[in-house]
Structure 1
């Protein structure tokens, strides 16, 4: 395999990672705010007391979505590996993913009342909540088929140990750009400039267009191994075999680090944008001190991230532990923040650690996966990266918010809002990331990867 990626490969990597990021960020950020600010909005205190709390609904939606994602990735990832095809899963999956996303624009309490003939406000709100949750699961099925299983396998297929850190860095920054793009458009939906219907339909159709485009731009990668007559159901549970776990111990240690890191992230992330909108930026005043602090924070974030990714490009050891330490420190700082300036100060180390760990852990997992069985491990990866974190993390965050019991008044009704305690709980979980990382470092697990990278760089120079 060539150590340099072609322009066409880069186009597809950037295009599908960006549009996948648009769809996932739309789900991870705005389905939560849609539930909180639209579905629950206007309900009386009596009705709110008769249905699940907003933070609980968000927690349940995230957990059920995670379960759907993992089951889907197991099934579709194994199927993709068995038939040695990626393109059809990516293209068709993205096309349907966008259509399902657009359908959220039609979920309203008014439509629920008309379709089911309800007049009772409790029933209407309950059905609206569960309609969002169930449709989110269907959307997750399409996203996990096209992105989590097929696209992730495709990226591993077309990259090498020397190109993966670059690709993972690109994927991370494209993820940030897609998040900012979604937030930029989504802010108009949040403040009522455009309706959520226009928001969901517009972005959904863009994702669908990407899937159709993939039919012409994507090429099947050279997947190692031939089609086999192995039992599909046996392949489905391949990664659970004790012999496989023992043989790939480094992979499972890396996945353990991924799991703990993502649990810490999911403790606060599902509630983050509600917290920012309802608490941090509710009465924001952009004075000189705030602007200067924000600029310095962003500069430190960029400089720190670039430096750690650079030193960790050839040797991951040099970035793992500092990134974890910064992530923990930043979360502790955010847990004590009482104003927007302190939030900006805490964001820098948190974001540096978040980005670098995401890039390096993802690259490490790709490096440790047996290259002739990439698809068979995508479900296992999802258990650690999605299922456990998105089931456990939001529950911890919900508990943290309920313990703090911070509320705001909206239309004369008291509503529970996320609080800084979620960052403290996340920091405690993040400390545990050191355990599998230290074990991997003591085993010198990254030495072989570092050697491969050095050899590939030498080949490029020749």
Structure 2
């Protein structure tokens, strides 16, 4: 009964989203996702192209970053609950985030200077990239994952969260499109068809963009001043949200988080290697951007409009279509290697991915207690980022290393080449979401 009461109360107390608030949401969501797009896609390419990193190195970097993001969000989110302020964390964190991104431009020079031996320099380059990634993730999570996402929960309610999450969830792909589109000017194509980039210029450009967004947010953003936390101690308040007591008080919230965790794990089975796979010479090669771009646009438009349907349909009904699209797209990517096949599979997968994320994220916000929006961003990160990134990439790495199959037809590449079987593995993991949705529905019926 507590869940239903909280949901009804939030509708009456949260304000309408103003035009200025919309502007801040779009700006911070877009710029934040541009930074994450560089981390999630170009750091993988950078560490492989510059230092010859293996897929295991990439998996380690993803896992270390996920751990840093989760711990930062958990403790900074709880801190922002206690001080009842979000803006200072968003603005200061974004400014330092931009500086840390620019720092990546110096890694190759540092490793070459400290290690004259080429092999040692490469290993140091991999190590420094992982360390710098954790530093960047700390500031990014402080600003975006902890403070901005808590603020977003504060300023929305059940009548508009689907619409807001439709836009917010589309931003990763819109940002990816902007990043890859801009990176085309920095692209270098080798004689053998391999693709690389002017990474220092990319890092400096994105770092400056994030810093500029911090300045604009400092001017336009209005603090939400959330309700005071009921917890007496900071660490006690953090720990309590992982306890059975909190789960009994908010059963729907934790069931939705469990489903979100499973889906995110399925996504992470292949997403860290998605671009690496597409740019293989025998898949799409240097033309991969031209195939990805229209697919991203279609998926982003779908998600923005589907978010409006989410407000009307409700979570249980709305999430079904995206899950079906996701599985269908993964199966197509597993079996097809033609340009048309990869395009169709990517569109279906991306539409399903973003649509499902919008549904899960909005429902998590709908069931978040008003006085714990900050600390629960850390719980969300634990369930949706840390666990999936600790598990998913290693599944994908194991599948690729164990098979070497390309296109699902047994064509053998080297042991570290991404295999199309990673998409099949992702589809199979995503099926485990279904029991959690059944449990959410039964819980809702029991309360009603």
Report the TM-score range of the alignment, normalised by the length of the smaller protein: 0.7 to 0.9
Measured against aligned partners, the alpha-carbon deviations of 1:106-139 in whole angstroms (never above 9, x if no partner) come to 111x43131x2x2322211110001001100000
Q: Which moved more, 1:26-35 or 1:435-444?
A: 435-444
Q: Aligned ranges for residues 28-47 of structure 1 at < 5 Å? A: 28-40=40-52
Q: Which moved more, 1:196-205 or 1:308-317?
A: 308-317
1:284 and 1:204, CA in 2 relative to 1: closer, same or farther beyond 3 A?
Answer: closer
Secondary structure of the corresponding residue to residue 324 of structure 2: helix
Give the structure 2 partner of residue 233 of structure 1.
Answer: 235
Q: In structure 2, which of residues 130, 138, 143 is the aligned counterpart of residue 141 of structure 1?
A: 138
Secondary structure of the corresponding residue to residue 273 of structure 2: helix
Q: Shift in Å at residue 265 of structure 1?
A: 0.8
Give the structure 2 partner of residue 381 of structure 1.
Answer: 380
Extract structure 1 runs of 4+ deviating beyond 6 A. 297-300, 445-448
Give the structure 2 partner of residue 161 of structure 1.
Answer: 158
Q: Shift in Å at residue 303 of structure 1?
A: 7.9
Q: Which moved more, 1:26-35 or 1:209-218?
A: 209-218
Q: Distance in 2 between matches of 1:313 and 1:38?
A: 46
Q: Distance in 1 between matches of 2:309 and 2:150?
A: 26
1:283 and 1:111, CA in 2 relative to 1: closer, same or farther beyond 3 A?
Answer: closer
1:446 and 1:379, CA in 2 relative to 1: closer, same or farther beyond 3 A?
Answer: farther
Give the structure 2 partner of residue 79 of structure 1.
Answer: 79
1:445 and 1:6, CA in 2 relative to 1: closer, same or farther beyond 3 A?
Answer: farther
Secondary structure of the corresponding residue to residue 393 of structure 1: helix
Structure 2 unaligned blocks of 5 or more: 1-12, 190-195, 407-412
Contact 1:168 1:363 in 2 (8 A): yes
Give the structure 1 partner of residue 404 of structure 2.
Answer: 405
Structure 1 unaligned blocks of 5 or more: 41-52, 408-412, 449-462
1:25 and 1:401, CA in 2 relative to 1: closer, same or farther beyond 3 A?
Answer: same
Q: Aligned ranges for residues 86-165 of structure 1 at < 5 Å? A: 86-108=86-108, 110-114=109-113, 116=114, 118-165=115-162
Give the structure 2 partner of residue 454 of structure 1.
Answer: none
Q: In structure 2, which of residues 266, 275, 296 is the aligned counterpart of residue 273 of structure 1?
A: 275
Q: Which moved more, 1:200-209 or 1:211-220?
A: 211-220
Q: Which moved more, 1:99-108 or 1:216-225?
A: 216-225
Measured against aligned partners, the alpha-carbon deviations of 1:209-268 in whole angstroms (never above 9, x if no partner) come to 111222211111141236x78111111212112111111111110001110111111111
CA RMSD of aligned residues (A): 2.7
Q: Distance in 1 between matches of 2:306 and 2:32?
A: 26
1:223 and 1:445, CA in 2 relative to 1: closer, same or farther beyond 3 A?
Answer: farther
1:69 and 1:225, CA in 2 relative to 1: closer, same or farther beyond 3 A?
Answer: same
Q: Shift in Å at residue 285 of structure 1?
A: 10
Measured against aligned partners, the alpha-carbon deviations of 1:49-77 in whole angstroms (never above 9, x if no partner) come to xxxx5211110000000001111111111
Contact 1:92 1:212 in 2 (8 A): no
Q: Aligned ranges for residues 306-345 of structure 1 at < 5 Å? A: 308-316=306-314, 317-345=316-344
TM-score for both structures, normalised by structure 1: 0.85
Give the structure 1 partner of residue 37 of structure 2.
Answer: 25
Q: Distance in 2 between matches of 1:304 and 1:336?
A: 24
Contact 1:73 1:149 in 2 (8 A): yes
Q: Distance in 2 between matches of 1:294 and 1:186?
A: 12
Q: Shift in Å at residue 146 of structure 1?
A: 0.5
Q: In structure 2, which of residues 28, 32, 44 is the aligned counterpart of residue 16 of structure 1?
A: 28
1:97 and 1:304, CA in 2 relative to 1: closer, same or farther beyond 3 A?
Answer: closer
Contact 2:55 2:397 in 1 (8 A): yes
1:75 and 1:299, CA in 2 relative to 1: closer, same or farther beyond 3 A?
Answer: closer
Give the structure 1 partner of residue 7 of structure 2.
Answer: none
Larger Rg: 1
1:298 and 1:87, CA in 2 relative to 1: closer, same or farther beyond 3 A?
Answer: closer
Contact 1:32 1:58 in 2 (8 A): yes
Q: Shift in Å at residue 38 of structure 1?
A: 2.4
Contact 2:155 2:224 in 1 (8 A): yes
Q: Shift in Å at residue 379 of structure 1?
A: 1.2
Give the structure 2 partner of residue 203 of structure 1.
Answer: 206
Q: Which moved more, 1:275-284 or 1:126-135?
A: 275-284
Q: Aligned ranges for residues 248-263 of structure 1 at < 5 Å? A: 248-263=250-265
Give the structure 2 partner of residue 47 of structure 1.
Answer: none
Q: Shift in Å at residue 438 of structure 1?
A: 1.6
Q: Distance in 2 between matches of 1:73 and 1:145?
A: 6
Q: Distance in 2 between matches of 1:128 and 1:294?
A: 31
1:111 and 1:427, CA in 2 relative to 1: closer, same or farther beyond 3 A?
Answer: same
Q: Shift in Å at residue 311 of structure 1?
A: 3.6
Give the structure 2 partner of residue 48 of structure 1.
Answer: none
1:78 and 1:21, CA in 2 relative to 1: closer, same or farther beyond 3 A?
Answer: same
Secondary structure of the corresponding residue to residue 220 of structure 1: coil
Q: Shift in Å at residue 178 of structure 1?
A: 1.3
Contact 2:162 2:309 in 1 (8 A): no
Q: Distance in 1 between matches of 2:446 and 2:287?
A: 46
Q: Distance in 1 between matches of 2:138 and 2:360?
A: 24
1:301 and 1:11, CA in 2 relative to 1: closer, same or farther beyond 3 A?
Answer: closer
Q: Matched residue pairs, number?
A: 422
Secondary structure of the corresponding residue to residue 219 of structure 1: coil
1:354 aligns with 2:353: yes
1:97 and 1:440, CA in 2 relative to 1: closer, same or farther beyond 3 A?
Answer: same
TM-score for both structures, normalised by structure 2: 0.88
Give the structure 2 partner of residue 457 of structure 1.
Answer: none
